[in-house]
Amino acid sequence: MADLKRRTLQISSGKQIKLFGNSVAISKSLELAEGYAPNILSLIDDPSDGKTPGSLSNPHKLTVDELMELADFNMQLWMNLKAALRRYGQVDPRIFSQDVPRNSSASTEKPEGSRKRNTTRNESSTIKD
């Protein structure tokens, strides 16, 4: 199983990825990146004596239920990534969720089925009395 030690992501295959921060994050589109900004819930170290555990930073005043919901949301995203990897059997661009708009200048092709025809407006304008 992967582990994170001293800002290094260690994967069971032996591969090591040096990180700038201390965490890995997943976006709604299933893209992975470093998530090193501790701005939702974090521990603020108290360097004064080393015995005191430090204080908690919770700037959005999230409740336990809200934090559990956030954890569930993130776990579901990771499960979606695992399902997509199983579905395509390889690292493939199709693993990324198409629900989130992406700013990509690399591709000018429109995704298949991205536009739906609005028949309600067209049919009502052609009906004559």
Distance CA(27)–CA(31), nearest Å, equals 5
- 83 in the same domain as 66: yes
pTM: 0.65
- 82 in the same domain as 64: yes
**Which pLDDT score is estimated for 103?**
46
**pLDDT, mean of residues 64-82:** 92
- 50 in the same domain as 25: no
Query: Does 97 fall in a domain?
Result: no
- 46 in the same domain as 26: no
Residue 26 neighbours by CB under 8 Å, 6+ apart? 32, 74, 77, 78, 81
Instruction: Supply the DSSP symbol for 112.
Output: T
Question: Count of domains in the chain?
Answer: 2
- 74 in the same domain as 46: yes
Query: Does 1 fall in a domain?
Result: yes
- 44 in the same domain as 33: no
Helices assigned H by DSSP within 4-63: none
Query: Does 113 fall in a domain?
Result: no
Phi, psi of 127 (to 5 degrees): -80, 130
Tens-digit pLDDT profile for residues 74-128: 999 999 999 999 998 878 888 887 664 444 433 333 334 333 444 444 443 334 4
- 33 in the same domain as 69: no
CB 26 within 8 A of CB 74: yes
**Which pLDDT score is estimated for 71?**
93
Distance CA(94)–CA(34), nearest Å, equals 21
- 46 in the same domain as 5: no
Nearest to 104 by CA among 93, 115, 118: 93
Domain extent at residue 62:
40-90
Query: Does 75 fall in a domain?
Result: yes
Nearest to 77 by CA among 90, 61, 95, 91: 95
**pLDDT, mean of residues 52-69:** 87
Tens-digit pLDDT profile for residues 5-52: 888 989 888 989 998 888 888 888 888 888 877 788 888 876 676 677
**Which pLDDT score is estimated for 49?**
67
- 77 in the same domain as 52: yes
- 81 in the same domain as 69: yes
Distance CA(33)–CA(13), nearest Å, equals 20
- 74 in the same domain as 44: yes
- 46 in the same domain as 23: no
Q: Which two tokens stand for residue 40?
A: 């939702």
* pLDDT surpasses 60 at 63: yes
Query: Does 103 fall in a domain?
Result: no
Instruction: Supply the DSSP symbol for 84.
Output: H
